[in-house]
Every structure is written in C-alpha cells, then in structure tokens.
Chain A
C-alpha cells in the first residue's frame, strides 16, 4: 500500500455512535459467552464429576482427573469398541467433563471381556494411557466392602437365581458359556451354597485361575495377574465368610455390579488404587 494515501474523512457523529454501540454489544457477547463457557468449571470444583473411568484414564495424585479431562478429545471411540457397552459419555451436568467417558459399574462394569484393552487402543489422544498393556495393570479405583452386615456370605447364606433379577440388562463374559461373546447376567442363573459372586466373577481372579490351569487368556503368559484381588475369609465359626480386598484389585467394578444385595455390599472407591494404598 502506498504511504501517500489520502486520509480517511472523519466519521460522522451518528456513525461514531453506531460504532460505540457495536463495540459495547460485542463486549456483552464476549462476556455472556464466557460466562457460559466458564460455568463448566462449577461441576469440576464441586467434585460432581468424580466418576469411575475406563481403564488407563489419566489420574494424578495432585491434579486428579484434570489431565484426563483435557487430553480427552470427546470422540467416544472407546464407547464404540467396548464389547459389554460399559462406557458412556458424560452430559452437560459434568461441565468440562462433557463428552468424557465414564463407567457406571453397578449398571455395567468393565469385565475386560476384550482382553486387549480395546478402549485404550482406540483412544486417539492418550487420555486412556497407552502405557497400559494388561487388565492387571489397570488402576481404575479400589473395591471396598461398604456394608458387610448385609453381605450374604457374612450371614452364611447361599444364593440361588439371577444375580441382579430378571430385568437386569448388564452383561458379562462367561468363559464356560462363550469365550468371545458376553451374555446377559440374567441369562446365567446361579445356585450357590455360599454366595461368592464377587470372588467368582472377579476378572482378575478368573485370570489367575486360568493361569493356574496352564491356560492363560489368549495363551499369553503376560496376561496372568501377579497378585490376587479378592478372597473370602472365614469369620466366626460355621460357614460365614467375609470378602477381603487384596492389592491386586484394579477397581474394574465387576464385584459392585454382580453383588445380588440391594444396595450393593461392595463398592469401588475412586480416590484409591492398589498403588496408593500405602500412601
């Protein structure tokens, strides 16, 4: 552009007033939109977004879930690959957690049906960290026997029938039924002298048993969990037993899901993992 361009004529007072108003309006637009955008912080600060996340979700002692929420690109590829459809995307009430995957373990837990941690492999951003290779390395949370008094095993009782009733939609993979396809829990009734469902269905315990039989999942010795996750311990005399969580627990939530008592005896603590137990 040439420098000797004639100067623009001064703006008319009307035009100047229009510009001033437009400037103020635009400022209001910025302010309003930013209030809406920053409102997303409220649920985070209130702790309302604390949820069970899929395997490998970034977690930090100091930052909590912040890195997970920021690294997640909210695409739902993890949702699409899960064979038991355990993963859902959070809604507007989660603020900055909108579109971020979570698991409602009581409704449908992750039972590692896919063996290969498909959600971790599907994640394009590393929000589900790729440093994870096997279910036993997962640190989603840590199980806790929250209501031992109502536990059937503690009362020395057995369990007969569908674990969560006929209407329950949740699925699990039962190796003895179908190695590859999970089936509805309602289609797999039990008849147990002493209820041991939380131990019986624990994906870590199932793998340990398979490895002890010399049949590790996919024939891969690395799939064998190094430590136990849960066991039943005798209490008093008679056949009463108490579930005890061990440091091999990964917090997958299957025990919480399968517990036939309403409300569930066993729950997953989110701010605890096998690694932070000693701390």
Chain B
C-alpha cells in the first residue's frame, strides 16, 4: 500500500496491516529466511545489548532533543524576562525576531471559533506550516512541547509501577484521538469558543513558564497523575489534536525515521520506548515489506528508538539525502 495512505490511516487509528507472505519483497523474504537459519542465542543477544548500552551515543538523540526543547522554551522566558524581544509571546503564537509564528492547532481553533482570519495570523500559520513540513511534523511534539517533556518522566514512573505490578495499565483505542479531533473542531465552530485551548497542557505549561504559574497547572497535574497510575502517555496517544495536526503536516515531510531490516534481531526494544509503537509494527518479524521501510507520520521523531537499537537498524533520514547524524 502507498506509504502516504498507510501512514495517515494508521495515525487516524487503524491497526497496522499484517502483510501476507507473498506481499513481502523477495529480498526481504530471503533476509528473514537467513535470520531463521542463523538465530542468535540469548547470551549473544544480551551481550549485544550490553555492549550497546555502554556506547557513548546511547542517549545521543534524547540529549539533543531535550537540549532543543529546553532551549526553545527558555528562549521565550529569557526573552520576556530581559525584554530583548527575541521571541515574544508563547507557544500558541509568537513573534520570532519580528516574524509572526502561530501554532497550527491553536490557529486552527481560533479560525474555526472566530470565523475570521487576520493576515498576521495567516502569515504566522503558513510560516509554521512550512517550518514543520521541513523538519518533520510531529517533531513539534517531542522536540518542543513542554508537556511531552514532563510526560516522559511520568512515563518512566508508570513503567516502574507497572513492572512492580502495583498498577494495571489501561489502554484505549487509538482511533479515539481522531474522534477528539473532530469533536474539538465541531465544538469550536458550534460554540464559538476555543474549547480545546482551555484544556491544552501545551498552552498552559508554556504560559506558566513565561507568565508565572497559576491554578491551571492543577489540570496538568491531573493529566500526569492519570498517565502515571492509569494509562501510559494517554494525553499524547489518545487525546491531543495538536499531535494529529502536526502529524498530518509530517506526512509530507522529508525528515523521518527509516527502518532497515538486515541487522535487526526483532527484540522489540524500540517498541517499548516508543510513544506511538504502532508505527514500529514493521520491526516485528515478517512484517517488513521491503528492506528499507520509512516509519509513518505519527512518529514524533523523538529518536528514542534510534538510540536504543543495538544494531543501528533505525536511523533518521532526510529523504533525498544521506542518513542524518
């Protein structure tokens, strides 16, 4: 199936299709066959993972990403605090050295609710659209969104609690995010209020950082507690329309993660660290249709899978150029 359609339908909630044997390319079938013949022992696999855990690059992309996320958010804070007018506003809308920028989802909600579009908002929206087409769409989520950052720590706690069997993790149907997307759009049109903005932890956290904390942080705390004790990464996975908006943008982006089947041992470490593991379905044995498979648009390009893969089977690519990093 076409990458574009498959990638978007997966993002909207469809389960990844399991390819039939004859849908796999001959080369891939040969590779799988070869792997079946020469299986690594448990000890060999363990040694491989331990060796990888010791490498200097074990957290390369995570560190780059966290640095970027912190710097971007601090730029807003520092710029206001010292009144240097470098980055004015908040993540919902801003002016970067005078140029208008508007968060695509916030701008969409405003347009739907207010039903007028001011030129400045249009300029800001188009600028940000082009920017995120270029750098990967949901890259916004993992490289910029402050809620993503705190949710990563909530996720660590959740995984710990689940490992100790102190909590029973709950999952939902991924398609529910699409339902939310439609509902929030309709609510904006019908009520004339930007309903989603009121509960968006991205906007709340961004404003709290810049203009000082408020009661709204209690809502963010509720979301984090839900993610720690009930459902892993629930907001980003099942609710947030910002992610879906940027995901759609990212479906035409040249920056994406690419999977290469040759050295993969199909251990599934990448799927364990992934916020949206369905995009890595192709890394399961007999699921890759081709030797190289681009990862779908729902991928936030966070690079955790690239970092954790002991065999270098997952890498960033810029379509039309060589591998990144």
Contact = CB atoms under 8 A, between A and B. Distances in A.
A92 B216 contact: yes
A76 B211 contact: yes
Given A29-B238, A40-B198, A124-B102, A74 B214 contact: no
B114 A124 contact: no
A215 to B, nearest CB: 29
Q: Assign chain A's interface to a size class.
A: 35 or more
Contact of A44 (B20, B94, B193): B193
A77 B206 CA distance: 13
A29 B170 CA distance: 11
A73 B196 contact: no
Nearest to A90: B214
B106 interface: yes
A30 interface: yes
Given A41-B193, A76-B90, A91 B215 contact: yes
B289 interface: no
Nearest to A93: B215
A67 B192 contact: yes
A67 B114 contact: yes
B93 A77 contact: yes
A181 interface: no
A145 B176 CA distance: 55
A22 B88 CA distance: 43
Interface stretch (B24-32, B116-124, B266-274, B292-300): B116-124
A220 to B, nearest CB: 23
A124 B124 contact: yes
Contacts of A89: 207, 211
Contacts of B204: 98-99
B120 A124 contact: yes
B239 interface: yes
Interface stretch (B179-187, B252-260, B317-325): B179-187
Nearest to A87: B211
Interface string B185-204: 00110011111111100011
Nearest to B172: A26
Given A91-B215, A124-B118, A124-B121, A40 B199 contact: yes
Report whether over half of chain A's contact residues are helix, strand or loop; otherwise say mixed. Answer: helix
A98 B110 CA distance: 14
A150 interface: no
Contacts of A73: 92-93, 102-103, 106-107, 110, 121, 194, 197
A91 B214 CA distance: 6
A30 B215 contact: no
B116 A71 contact: yes
A99 B92 CA distance: 10
Q: Assign chain B's interface to a size class.
A: 35 or more
B1 interface: yes
A75 B192 contact: no
Nearest to B93: A75
A279 interface: no
A67 B238 CA distance: 30
A257 to B, nearest CB: 21
Contact of A125 (B121, B173, B196): B121
Contacts of B199: 33, 36-37, 40
A194 interface: no
Contacts of A70: 110, 113-114, 188, 192-194
Interface of A: 1, 5, 22-23, 25-26, 29-30, 33-34, 36-38, 40-41, 44, 63, 66-67, 69-77, 79-81, 88-89, 91-93, 95-96, 98-99, 122, 124-127, 130
Interface of B: 1, 20, 80, 88-90, 92-95, 100, 102-103, 106-107, 110, 113-114, 116, 118, 120-121, 124, 170-173, 175-176, 179-180, 183-184, 187-188, 191-199, 203-204, 207, 210-211, 214-216, 218-219, 234, 238-239
Given A73-B197, A76-B89, A95-B198, 9 more contacts: A5-B20, A25-B170, A30-B183, A73-B103, A74-B203, A75-B92, A91-B214, A96-B198, A127-B114
